Structure 1
Amino acid sequence: MSRLNEQLFTADRLVANFKEYIRQNEAYMTKTQALNAYYKVVSGSILADRIAKNADLIVRMRHLEEAYQRVSQEGR
Structure 2
Amino acid sequence: MAGSSHGHTPAAWTGVIIAFIGFCVAGAFMVMANVPGFWAGMGLVVVGGLVGGAMRAMGLGAEKRPQREIRSES
TM-score w.r.t. structure 1 length? 0.40
Which is greater in Rg? 2
Bigger relative contact order, structure 1 or 2 (CA pairs below 8 A, ≥6 apart)? 1
Give the structure with the higher percent helix: 1
TM-score w.r.t. structure 2 length? 0.41
